[in-house]
Chains A and B, each alone.
Chain A
């Protein structure tokens, strides 16, 4: 700093002053270290079982390494159910999310409404998918319906947040143009905002769909039907070979969907 001040011409070749110690950084590191030590102690962190108890895990791991491929085809109906659950939940969830996102952005909603919606969405997003599926399984009974409802709630949280952020970032030009010709809030949203966020909204929807396929394990274990339900049953009877085959198949499915949605997204944007 001193070198740029007038009258204080630094001799050529001298070094700029060293920046002082950054207390914020050191305090941050100290706090993080303290929390880390506390957490490590609290959950009794140790890697000892890795040496002493490895043989115990070997049995299970061996079963996992010998997947029972036949089983994947035997539960084909459940695969279809998972796919149907994911499609319904992501379409319905994202459609609702678009409406909520319009209410949760300062571009399209009055200040009071968007503040309230932000809080509602934050609360809604704080519940894990497991909580939603347990709740809906209790209300409508276990099965695909509970899974669909739980995933819809989960999707609203993800898609509404992402879309609201996209809406915050739209080019204000078209919005002002619509306002200048006397468009109401709804009309402004329809002609000036939605067309701008549509590409990213569609791409989020594909992402949400992929998340739903991934989440099918959690959904099924919580009582929401589909392929996760198969996992729950097999887990209860320790058929790890079957679980392993299902998981590998699921990974392949997610991979294919990922590639597919990437291609579609690239064409859309």
Chain B
């Protein structure tokens, strides 16, 4: 460090090869602007910031009550009832998410081929993509409120259908990108032997794109488990309805048990899903490099 400083002291001692340090001005300006925006927002928003002072002690109290619920003997009432209620609701959430993902997968699979530039003519691609973008833009909870719950009533079916329609948007987009990215040589090989368009797709494209598409389906399943929570709070069944109920009653022991069930089940399902996804993408020997989650586009 000191040697460096000595070099930088005068232009005479600086050897010709040492470049000048880049200007730090843009970085500093960016930081200052960000900070100013943050402060402006904190000042503008009408939030009772002083309550933050009491929050830690309140949180500690609630946390104690919650853990009392979690670590109490689960075979006794009422804890037994808490665990059973939360477990059943979580199971319903999983069912809802699975069916939603299934619907999304079944609908998005053919749509993805229509939206792939390498497969379909340009006008079809444009129309399909626009449709997918529109679906992606509409929040699932609006699909549930506006269409599914009035027609299918309250319950997990309406939730599953809303998740399913919502899944078509992201799955269709990501799958079509996977289809466009297949290696063209095997596609050419099939078409050179006189394969029809369908045969080319089935033998040339699908085997290559399928692992990635399957991984997207599994990933969407993980997302749908979380997305289902808000639908439940609005009356679509599952863990969300229990969650909003127990918070409203401020029964902290039951809150603790319900959150514990969510955490345990979600973490286990995520782990299994991540393993299966890795196995699908990397193959039995795990030869392929670590596959990155497409999380940044899943929303």
- What is A's interface to B at a CB cutoff of 8 Å? 24, 35-36, 38-40, 42-46, 49-50, 53-54, 56-57, 59-61, 64, 80-81, 84-85, 87-88, 91-92, 122-123, 126-131, 134-135, 137-141, 143-145, 148-149, 158, 161-162, 165, 204, 207, 210-211, 214, 217-218, 221-222, 225, 235, 240, 243-244, 247, 250-251, 254-255
User: Contact: B150 with A61, CB < 8 Å?
Assistant: yes
User: Contact: B45 with A204, CB < 8 Å?
Assistant: no
B21 CB within 8 Å of chain A: no
Q: Mark B28-45, 1 if CB is under 8 A from A, else 0.
A: 000000100110011011
Q: Mark B129-140, 1 if CB is under 8 A from A, else 0.
A: 000000001110
Alpha-carbon distance between A42 and B263 when the two chains are bound, in angstroms: 23
- Residues on B with C-beta less than 8 A from A87 are 37-38, 41
Given A88-B42, A122-B267, A218 contacting B230 (CB threshold 8 A): yes
Q: List 24 A-B contacts (CB under 8 A).
A: A38-B95, A39-B95, A39-B98, A43-B99, A45-B157, A60-B147, A61-B150, A80-B44, A81-B45, A87-B37, A91-B37, A92-B38, A126-B270, A128-B226, A135-B247, A140-B52, A140-B55, A143-B47, A145-B48, A204-B296, A207-B296, A211-B299, A235-B234, A254-B137
Residue in B closest to A225 when the chains form the complex, CB atoms: B47
- Residues on B with C-beta less than 8 A from A57 are 147, 150-151
- Residues on B with C-beta less than 8 A from A56 are 150-151
Given A43-B92, A46-B157, A49-B152, A162 contacting B229 (CB threshold 8 A): no
- Residues on B with C-beta less than 8 A from A210 are 299
Alpha-carbon distance between A138 and B138 when the two chains are bound, in angstroms: 29
A46, A56, A139, most chain B CB atoms within 10 A = A139
Alpha-carbon distance between A211 and B223 when the two chains are bound, in angstroms: 13
User: Contact: A162 with B295, CB < 8 Å?
Assistant: yes
Residue in B closest to A89 when the chains form the complex, CB atoms: B41
Q: How far is the CB of A120 from chain B (nearest CB, A)?
A: 11
B165 CB within 8 Å of chain A: no
Q: How far is the CB of B129 from chain A (nearest CB, A)?
A: 14
Alpha-carbon distance between A244 and B98 when the two chains are bound, in angstroms: 28
Alpha-carbon distance between A214 and B169 when the two chains are bound, in angstroms: 15
User: Contact: B150 with A126, CB < 8 Å?
Assistant: no
* Interface residue from B49, B142, B255 paired with A145 (Cβ < 8 Å): B49
The 3 closest A-B pairs by CB, nearest first: A126-B266, A57-B151, A57-B150
Alpha-carbon distance between A40 and B51 when the two chains are bound, in angstroms: 46
B64 CB within 8 Å of chain A: no
Alpha-carbon distance between A138 and B244 when the two chains are bound, in angstroms: 11
Residue in A closest to B142 when the chains form the complex, CB atoms: A247
- Residues on A with C-beta less than 8 A from B292 are 165
B233 CB within 8 Å of chain A: yes
User: Contact: A43 with B145, CB < 8 Å?
Assistant: no
Alpha-carbon distance between A207 and B296 when the two chains are bound, in angstroms: 7
Q: How far is the CB of B77 from chain A (nearest CB, A)?
A: 24
Alpha-carbon distance between A217 and B157 when the two chains are bound, in angstroms: 22
Q: How far is the CB of A98 from chain B (nearest CB, A)?
A: 13
- Residues on A with C-beta less than 8 A from B270 are 122, 126
B124 CB within 8 Å of chain A: no
Given A36-B102, A43-B92, A59-B150, A221 contacting B233 (CB threshold 8 A): yes
> Chain B interface secondary structure, helix, strand, loop or mixed?
helix
User: Contact: B145 with A222, CB < 8 Å?
Assistant: no
Q: How far is the CB of A169 from chain B (nearest CB, A)?
A: 8
Alpha-carbon distance between A58 and B94 when the two chains are bound, in angstroms: 30
B14 CB within 8 Å of chain A: no
* Residues 97-115 (chain B) with a chain A CB within 8 angstroms: 98-99, 102
User: Contact: B137 with A255, CB < 8 Å?
Assistant: yes
Q: Mark B218-244, 1 if CB is under 8 A from A, else 0.
A: 000000001101100110010010011
User: Contact: A131 with B47, CB < 8 Å?
Assistant: no
* Residues 1-52 (chain B) with a chain A CB within 8 angstroms: 34, 37-38, 41-42, 44-49, 51-52
User: Contact: A131 with B262, CB < 8 Å?
Assistant: yes
Alpha-carbon distance between A85 and B46 when the two chains are bound, in angstroms: 10
- Given contact pairs A39-B94, A210-B299, a sample of 13 additional A-B residue pairs in the complex whose CB atoms are under 8 Å apart: A38-B95, A42-B92, A44-B157, A45-B160, A53-B151, A126-B270, A138-B247, A140-B52, A143-B46, A148-B47, A214-B139, A218-B230, A243-B145
* Interface residue from B45, B146, B240 paired with A85 (Cβ < 8 Å): B45
* Interface residue from A84, A123, A131, A138 paired with B267 (Cβ < 8 Å): A123
* Residues 239-276 (chain B) with a chain A CB within 8 angstroms: 240, 243-244, 247, 250, 255, 259, 262-263, 266-267, 270
Residue in B closest to A59 when the chains form the complex, CB atoms: B150
* Residues 137-187 (chain B) with a chain A CB within 8 angstroms: 137-139, 141-142, 145-147, 150-153, 155-157, 160
User: Contact: B150 with A60, CB < 8 Å?
Assistant: yes
Alpha-carbon distance between A85 and B38 when the two chains are bound, in angstroms: 10
* Residues 60-111 (chain B) with a chain A CB within 8 angstroms: 62, 91-92, 94-96, 98-99, 102
Q: How far is the CB of A257 from chain B (nearest CB, A)?
A: 12
B284 CB within 8 Å of chain A: yes
B37, B227, B234, B263, most chain A CB atoms within 10 A = B263
Q: How far is the CB of B215 from chain A (nearest CB, A)?
A: 13
Alpha-carbon distance between A240 and B94 when the two chains are bound, in angstroms: 29
